[in-house]
Amino acid sequence: MELEKSVIGIELGSTRIKAVLLDERHIPVASGNYEWENHFVNGVWTYAMDEVHKGLHACYAELACDVRAKFNMELTTVGAIGVSAMMHGYLPFDRDGKQLAEFRTWRNTITGEAAEKLSTLFGFNIPQRWSIAHLYQAILNGEAHVEDISFLTTLAGYVHWQLTGEKVIGIGEASGMFPIDSARLSFNQCMVEQFDQLICNQPFPWKLRDVLPKVLPAGVSGGMLIDAGALFLDPTGTLKPGVPVAPCEGDAGTGMVATNSVRVRTGNVSAGTSDFAMLVSDHDLGVHREIDMVTTPTGLPVAMVHCNNCTSDINAWVNLFSQFADAIGEPQDKGALFTLLFNKALEGDADCGGLLSYNYFSGEGVTDLNEGRPVFARFPNCNFSLANFMRSHLLSALATLKIGLDILTKEENVQVDKLYGHGGFFKTPVVGQKLLSAAVGAPVSVMVTAGEGGPFGMALLCTYMLWKDENESLEDYLDNKVFKDAEYSTLSADVFEIEGFNVFLEKYKDAFEVERTAVKTM
C-alpha cells in the first residue's frame, strides 16, 4: 500500500460522518464512520459544532485503525484529501473566526419571506435552505450578529477552512449558497450587485462578495493541509501536514460523481434522510419554485428536485418493529430487519391497497409546507397488510420527488439518457431500484457503490485533481478511468407497477389536506 498514491474522501452526511480511502485503482480499501443526528433546538434544526469536531476525530480514528489492521502501517499521509457535507445552510463567522449563530441546516424552513423576495428580485428560484436566503432572513429579522459577519460558509466550507486556512469552496457546493454564472464559474455578479443594492440602507461594513468564499471548479487545488488542519482531523499527530486538499463539495455534487452522472442528459437520485434528483440539462429552463438550479462540480447547470424528507419515517417504523422483536424475545439484527421489511414491500399491491403515508418529519418546499407531521392513514376497506404498510412508506418516500420530477419531464421536456440511484434507500438490492423505476417510469441503474456515494464521490474528485490528463474533462475522466468496467444493475418496473404508483400518487395528492391539517392542529 503506497499512501502517497491513495486519497481520502470525507463526507458529513445527515446521519453519518464517513471517510473512505481509495487506492490508485479508484477502489475503496479502508473506511471510518461516526453516527450523529441533527437536533431541533429553539425552533432551528442544527448540529452543535462540538459534535462536528468530535465526529471528525472519531471517524478519522476509525479510518486510521482500519488502515493499521489491513496494511500494518500508520496513516501518516496520502496523495490528497477532500471534504464534502450536506449542502446549503448558514454558518456565519466574525473576523476573529468566532461563530456568530447556530448552524442552520438545509432542513430548516424558516426563511420563507426572504426566499420569496429574493426569487422575485433575481427572477431565479431561491429555495429556503440556500445560504443567501438564511442571510437575508437574518437581516429581515433584525438579528444583531449580521453586522459582524466577516465570512459566511457552509459546513463543508467550514471544515475545508479548518484544514487549509483557505476560505474557498467547490462550485457545486457554492451553487447551494448563491446563484452561479456557469460561463464565468463564479457567483452571478449581476445578482450579487442586486443583493448589495437591496441592503444598501443597512449599516453593514461589508458587501456580499466580502463575506462569501472564493469559488473553485473541480480539478484545481483547494490548498494544502496545514499543521492545525492535520490536528483538526487527527489529534494524535500521526497525520502530517502538506497534503493537497481538493475543493470541498456538497453531497449533491459528490453523488453525481459517484454515479458518473455529470455529463449532459444524465441524472441521479440520491435517497437517504433527504432525497433529491439531479438532471444535467441541455437547455435553459423556466423558473419554478419546486426546482433548484445548481451545478456539477465543474459548473454545468443542473436541475435539482430536493425533498427534505425521505427515509426518516421508514427508520422510525423499523425501529418500532425492532422493539417489538425485542419484546417477544426474538431480537433482530437491524440491517437484516431493514432487508426483510423492504423486500416485504414488493409483495404489496402496486397502489398500496388503500394505505397512505406522509413522511414529513420537517417542512417541505416542493409542497409548500414549513413544518411536517408524519401521518399514516388508511381507508376502512383497505387491504391492511404488512406488505402494503411497508410499500406505502417506501412510495411515500418518493412521492414528493415525483411531483417535482413531473415538472422537469412534462413541462420543461428535460430528457434523461441514464438515471442512477444511490444512497441508503438502495442498499437492499432490487427494492428501492424497482420502486424508483415505478415512480419515474424509466429504467434505473445502481452501481455496487450505491450505498456509499458521498465520500466515494469526494475521493474521486481528489483523484481527478491529482491524476487527470491535461485538458481532460471530469466527464471523460470518470468514463475512461473510473467507471469503464464498473459493475451495475439496471431494472425497469413493470407496467402495472408504474400504473399503481400513479394511482397511489393521485390519492396522495387528493388527501394532502390531511397533512396540512396535521401541521395546523398538532
Domain annotation for the chain: domains and CATH numbers? 251-309+404-491 (3.30.420.40), 312-399+495-521 (no CATH)
Under DSSP, is residue 284 helix (H, G, I), strand (E, B) or coil?
A: coil
Residue at 77: amino acid letter: T
DSSP string of 409-464? IIIS----SEEEEESGGGSSTTHHHHHHHHHHTS-EEEETTGGGHHHHHHHHHHHH
Q: Report the pLDDT value the prediction gives residue 109, as an integer from 0 to 100.
A: 87
Helix axes 334-345, 386-406, angle to 10 degrees: 80
* Per-residue tens of pLDDT for the chain, all 522 residues: 899 999 999 999 988 999 999 999 999 999 999 999 999 999 999 999 999 999 999 999 999 999 999 999 999 999 999 999 999 999 999 999 999 999 999 889 899 999 999 999 999 999 999 999 999 999 999 999 999 999 999 999 999 999 999 999 999 999 999 999 999 999 999 999 999 999 999 999 999 999 999 999 999 999 999 999 999 999 999 999 999 999 999 988 998 898 888 998 888 888 888 888 888 887 778 888 888 899 999 999 999 888 889 999 999 999 999 999 999 999 999 999 999 999 999 999 999 999 999 999 988 988 989 899 999 999 999 999 999 999 999 999 999 999 988 888 888 888 777 788 887 888 898 999 999 999 988 889 888 755 557 899 999 999 999 999 999 999 999 999 999 888 888 999 999 999 999 999 999 999 999 999 999 999
Helices marked H in 328-430: 334-345, 386-406
Which residue is associated with the grid cell 442528459?
265
Residue (of 271, 344, 262, 355) closest to 305 by Cα position = 271
φ and ψ of 366, to 5 deg:
-60, -40
How many whole angstroms separate alpha carbon 418 and alpha carbon 439? 15
Q: Which three cell numbers stand for residue 232?
A: 483538526
- The pTM score is 0.83
Task: Give the chain's length.
Answer: 522
Among 257, 272, 255, 342, residue whose Cα is nearest residue 308: 272
Residue showing cell 447551494: 176
* Bridge partners for 369 per DSSP: 364
Sign for the CA dihedral angle at 89, 95, 97, 99 comes to negative
Is the CB of residue 444 less than 8 Å from the CB of residue 433? yes
Q: Put residue 481 in one of left, alpha, beta given phi > 0 → left and psi -120 to 50 → alpha.
A: alpha
Say what angle helices 312-327 and 386-406 make with each other, to 10 degrees: 170
Q: For 508-518, what is each residue's pLDDT tens digit?
A: 999 999 999 99
Three cell numbers, residue 206: 461589508
Contact by Cβ (8 Å): 129, 107: yes
Contacts of 450 (CB under 8 A, 6+ apart): 259, 420, 421, 422, 423, 426, 427
Neighbouring C-alpha atoms within 13 Å toward the C-beta of 482: 29
